[in-house]
Amino acid sequence: MIKVGLIGYGRAGAAVARVIEADERFALCWIARRSAGAGDAAIPMTRLEAGTFPAWLDRHPVDAVIDFSDAEAVHIYGEAIRRRGITLVSAISAYPEATRDYIRGLGRDIRVMSSPNITLGINFLMFAARMLRRIAPFADVEILEQHFRDKAEVSGTARKIAEKLDVDDERITSLRLGGIVGHHEVIFGFPYQTVRLVHDSIRREAFGTGAAFALAELVKYPPGYYTYDELLLNLIRQEIGSDVVPAHA
Ligand SMILES: NC(=O)c1ccc[n+]([C@@H]2O[C@H](COP(=O)([O-])OP(=O)(O)OC[C@H]3O[C@@H](n4cnc5c(N)ncnc54)[C@H](OP(=O)(O)O)[C@@H]3O)[C@@H](O)[C@H]2O)c1
């Protein structure tokens, strides 16, 4: 069983905690946040502070840390987990470039995976869309994203899909209506057929499923910095490798 510490217990972190707690591959040992709020009393909770965190880690050892807090937090706990060989899964959406470099540097000593899009479904959609784009570069591509009425900006995930498919952001259509949690659709227009790849987010627990997937894969690797793509691709290679018939068999 993998012992896990969770950093961040906000909207996403609370949902992730529920998923990790319910997954028998993991033991959720503690939660660290900015405040000292009690939260779920069943799990020890601490305030994340540079002065006290190393001693907390020694009293509450874990194999891995999952971060759903903010971009600053890794500067508080980074060296403490590096020294103890603790694996890191970071879901922080946006790091400044210097912090991103620091996290990559942690990969020299520990296993690290950092992804701004941690749901398994979106990562699979991006992978499948990239494959189709490569196979059929002549097909038209449009990206449709739908979210709740008050979401102001264009979805970062939709922009990421556009970047991965090498299409202009102008190919993204955004709809804002009601309470839609998150809908992403990539539409490939062929001359005589249409392919639609669709992902719908239902609940924030999907972030937990994604983090659990990443962590379960990451612990199979030696220390290093990994992307979600690499973990997913290696697994897909292993799964389909034996089905592939060599071209000159
Ligand atoms: N990769 C993905 O797919 C994905 C998905 C969802 C969210 N996220 C990212 O996850 C992060 C949290 O999102 P959210 O919506 O849950 O935000 P949120 O509701 O504002 O919660 C943030 C949590 O992090 C804690 N926190 C903030 N700064 C901290 C610090 N310096 N040290 C320790 N704890 C700190 C807060 O502590 P208090 O409770 O004490 O205030 C709170 O528990 C964001 O970066 C978001 O972009 C990523």
Q: What is the 3-state secondary structure (H, E, C) of 167-227?
A: CCHHHEEEEECCCCCEEEEEEEECCCCEEEEEEEECCCHHHHHHHHHHHHHHCCCCCEEEC
Strand 64-67 vs strand 87-90: parallel, antiparallel, or unpaired? parallel
Banded model confidence at residue 241, pLDDT cuts 50, 70, 90: confident
Q: What is the pLDDT of residue 150?
A: 92
Task: Choose among 154, 71, 83, 159: nearest CA to 114.
Answer: 71
207-217 confidence digits (pLDDT tens): 999 999 999 99
Q: What is the pLDDT of residue 244?
A: 67
Task: Choose among 136, 200, 206: nearest CA to 165.
Answer: 136
Stretch 103-121: mean pLDDT:
96
Task: Write the CATH number of the domain with boundaries 120-201.
Answer: 3.30.360.10
Residues catalogued as catalytic: 147, 151
Backbone φ/ψ region at 90: left (φ over 0), alpha (ψ -120 to 50), beta: beta
Banded model confidence at residue 84, pLDDT cuts 50, 70, 90: very high
Task: Write the CATH number of the domain with boundaries 2-118+205-238.
Answer: 3.40.50.720
Pocket lining: 132 vs ligand 1, CB cutoff 6 Å: no
Kindly report the length of the chain.
249
Structural domain boundaries in the chain: 2-118+205-238, 120-201
Q: What is the pLDDT of residue 238?
A: 86
Banded model confidence at residue 206, pLDDT cuts 50, 70, 90: very high
Task: Choose among 45, 110, 116, 108: nearest CA to 80.
Answer: 110
- Give the mean pLDDT of the chain: 94
Pocket lining: 73 vs ligand 1, CB cutoff 6 Å: yes
Question: Residue 4 to residues 13, 29, 142: CA-CA distances in angstroms?
Answer: 13, 6, 40
Q: What is the pLDDT of residue 104?
A: 97
Is pLDDT above 70 for 249? no
Pocket lining: 14 vs ligand 1, CB cutoff 6 Å: no
Q: What angle do CA 141, 153, 13 make, to 5 degrees?
A: 105
Task: Calculate how far, in angstroms, residue 186's C-alpha sits from the geometric centre of ligand 1.
Answer: 28
Task: Choose among 78, 8, 70, 81: nearest CA to 39.
Answer: 8
Q: What is the pLDDT of residue 40?
A: 56
Residue reference for tokens 């869309």: 129
Which atom of ligand 1 is closest in space to residue 92's alpha carbon? 45
27-59 confidence digits (pLDDT tens): 999 999 998 766 556 899 999 999 999 999 999
User: What percent of the chain has a predicted confidence (pLDDT) above 90?
Assistant: 86
Lowest mean pLDDT, pick from 85-89, 102-106, 226-230: 226-230
Tokens at 126, concatenated: 């991006």
